[in-house]
């Protein structure tokens, strides 16, 4: 029985890169159903290829609210951003705009042993008054 369970686990890990990115949800990642690497553990980390600036609301700008938001997320097999969330911030009122911007970004996916893999990473999204 132990060998059977081991075989199923090995098969799941080997077949994981064949799972379409659309089948992976933030929930499946957080529940451990998808193998997600840390950026330090892959051969080639994800590389941003398209970024958009966050929307900086006139109200926050007028109130001189500025600073950075650390957004953590997973880069999918096709370079899409999955499960973006703010993990720390200079001002929580900037969080929604930072997360919304990061969700639109596109990456060249991370690679491990020649295969695209899911990779957890984070960025600091800056809001500057200048």
How does pLDDT run across 46-59, given as a tens digit for each residue? 999 999 999 999 99
Residue 64 confidence (pLDDT) above 80: yes
Rounded CA-CA distance 35/77 in Å is: 11
CATH fold label, 2-127: TolA/TonB C-terminal domain (3.30.2420)
Residue 36 confidence (pLDDT) above 70: yes
> Do 129 and 60 meet the contact criterion of CB atoms below 8 Å apart?
no
Residue 32 confidence (pLDDT) above 90: no
Average of per-residue pLDDT values in the chain = 83
Report domain extents, the chain: 2-127
Angle value at C-alpha 23, between 98 and 33, nearest 5 degrees = 90
């Amino acid at each position: 029985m132990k060998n059977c369970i081991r075989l199923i686990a090995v098969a799941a890990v080997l077949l994981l890169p064949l799972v379409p990115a659309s089948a992976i949800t933030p929930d499946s990642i957080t529940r451990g159903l998808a193998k997600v690497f840390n950026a330090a553990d892959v051969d080639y980390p994800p590389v941003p290829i398209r970024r958009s600036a966050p929307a900086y609301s006139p109200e926050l700008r007028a109130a001189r609210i500025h600073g950075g938001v650390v957004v953590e997320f997973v880069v999918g097999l096709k370079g899409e951003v999955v499960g973006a969330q703010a993990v720390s911030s200079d001002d929580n009122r900037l969080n929604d705009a930072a997360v919304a911007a990061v969700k639109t970004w596109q990456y060249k996916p991370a690679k491990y042993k020649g295969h695209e893999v899911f990779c957890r990473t984070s960025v600091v999204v800056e809001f500057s008054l200048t």
